[in-house]
Amino acid sequence: MTQIESARNNDVTPEIEQVAQQEGVNTRELMQKVAQGTVVILKNVNHKGINPVGVGKGLSIKINANIGTSHQKSGLDEELKKLEIVQKTGADTVMDLSTGDDIDSTRRSILGKSSIPLGTVPVYQIGIDAINSRESFMEVDKDRILQVIENHCRDGVDFITVHCGVTKAVVDCLEQSPRLTGIVSRGGSMHAAWIKKHNRENPLYEYYDELLDIAKTYDATLSLGDGLRPGCGADAGDRAQVMETIVLGELVQRARKAGVQAMVEGPGHVPFNLIAGMVETIKKLTFDAPLYVLGPLVTDIAPGYDHITSAIGGTAAAVAGADFLCYVTPSEHLGLPDIEQVREGVITSKIAAHAADVAKGRQVSIERDRLMSIARVDLDWNKQAEYAIDKDVFEAIDDGKPCTMCGEYCSMKIFKETVNPSAILK
């Protein structure tokens, strides 16, 4: 039985128990949310030795890091190093987006070394396999697509991005309502091209029930991809995006009914003023499914710094109700990230997630900020390193001494020594 089925049967699974404990929430309340589908538990029955991760209503904001081999840039060894960094730096999940040699064995290596849930986008492999066999993605059929998806699930992949919402009607809608950047989702553009070529429905939509059967067998969570997400601020919230979101809502309901866990992917590029309303709209249209966003990036003009534009948008989105942030690295829009950029992406996403947790009143997050602030007043650099999101930055500072920023004119020193130390709370 899947987590959602067990929860509906009033069974508290070991995974629900474990997530409740990690999150400090009530076990039966969590079980009810899993039963309703407003929380998903990421854990494939075949992925042994990992901690299940809960995503959704009432839980802390989670972050995901993408890694993966490519012909142009990077092989398995480097990607395994990235996996290590990603886990050490504190990502909650990782996605393997490999497009290099032997995608199957790469995925199995990563699965074997991952202690956190792993996600994939099976359609990437389908595309690469087609190229390697001198075919085109246009020639693949639903059996091939479902076969690759089943391989991923059988191997133990905990969540898969599937672009089932890129339907014929959604692509028609896009063509009737032009936008600035067309389709910027790789999977979305591949499915749209297939639909146009064959003038047929997206197989993942037409045979969604078969996909649900596969996901159910392994309790792989469906991450319903937003193939029509806006690729620039000007396209945010347009007809095509909202139309697809309505379809995703239908797919969420069908997944829940079939006993399959599902979450929904969200944008993308969204100006700051539109973020809260957009998140609320998506949540409403998808029946409060856990929302997994890529960004949102609050401006289009900052390549090289899109980890920052997405931390701004990610914080706002998470405060408004998004549950899960996909990291964005400084190399977004430019190329694949190196190890240092991967690390920076994870840290930046964690900052956004933590800032949102604080804003939403999560006590353990607020307490960490409080303890950091006390350590700061005490000029206790060791303690500051303990509470910091990145302890390495404290290496150069002598404990007990003010930093070189203000030197002797350290306001902390002046206040305690000459104003009134008793005006400081402990």
268-297: contacts with a second copy (CB under 8 A) = 271-274
Minimum distance from CB of 406 to a second copy (Å)? 6
Q: Which is nearer to a second copy, 2 or 202 (CB)?
A: 202
Contact set for a second copy, span 36-65 (CB under 8 A): none
Q: State the burial class of residue 4 (Cβ atoms within 10 Å of its Cβ: 0-12, 13-18, 19+).
A: buried
Contact set for a second copy, span 301-340 (CB under 8 A): 301-305, 307-309, 311-312, 315-316, 319, 331-336
The rounded distance, in Å, linking the Cα atoms of 100 and 102 is: 7
Q: Using the rule CB under 8 A, which residue among 3, 93, 99, 125 binds a second copy? A: 99
Q: Using the rule CB under 8 A, which residue among 72, 134, 199, 209 binds a second copy? A: 72
Length of the chain: 426
Sign of torsion, CA 214 218 221 227? negative
Distant-in-sequence, close-in-space partners of 258: CB < 8 Å, separation ≥ 6? 209, 212, 213, 216
Angle at 358 between CA 357 and CA 360, to 5 degrees: 65
Q: Using the rule CB under 8 A, which residue among 299, 338, 339, 383 binds a second copy? A: 299
Residue 398 within binding range of a second copy, rule CB under 8 A: no
Contact set for a second copy, span 108-137 (CB under 8 A): 124, 127-128, 131
Q: Which is nearer to a second copy, 88 or 370 (CB)?
A: 370
Q: Which is nearer to a second copy, 108 or 376 (CB)?
A: 376
Total residues contacting a second copy by CB under 8 A comes to 109
Interface with a second copy by CB under 8 A: which range of 42-50, 205-213, 287-295, 391-399? 391-399
Minimum distance from CB of 167 to a second copy (Å)? 14
Interface with a second copy by CB under 8 A: which range of 32-40, 217-225, 255-263, 265-273? 265-273
Minimum distance from CB of 105 to a second copy (Å)? 20
Q: Using the rule CB under 8 A, which residue among 169, 253, 254, 415 binds a second copy? A: 415
Q: Which is nearer to a second copy, 221 or 309 (CB)?
A: 309
Minimum distance from CB of 136 to a second copy (Å)? 9
Interface with a second copy by CB under 8 A: which range of 84-92, 156-164, 282-290, 360-368? 360-368
Minimum distance from CB of 65 to a second copy (Å)? 15
Produce one character per residue of 285-315: b if its CB has 16 or more CB atoms within 10 Å, e if not: bbbbbbbbbbbbbbbbebeebbbbbbbbbbb
Q: Which is nearer to a second copy, 43 or 343 (CB)?
A: 343
The rounded distance, in Å, linking the Cα atoms of 225 and 35 is: 22
Q: Which is nearer to a second copy, 154 or 186 (CB)?
A: 186
User: Of 166, 244, 258, 154, which is closest to residue 212 (Cα–Cα)?
Assistant: 258
Write phi, then psi, for 330 (nearest 5 degrees): -60, -15
Minimum distance from CB of 137 to a second copy (Å)? 9
Residue owning tokens 């802390």: 60
C-alpha distance across the termini of the chain, in Å? 49
Sign of torsion, CA 237 64 323 359? negative
Residue owning tokens 């240092």: 340
Q: Which is nearer to a second copy, 12 or 372 (CB)?
A: 372
Contact set for a second copy, span 139-168 (CB under 8 A): none
C-alpha dihedral (397, 398, 401, 403), degrees to nearest 10: -10
Residue owning tokens 């095509």: 240
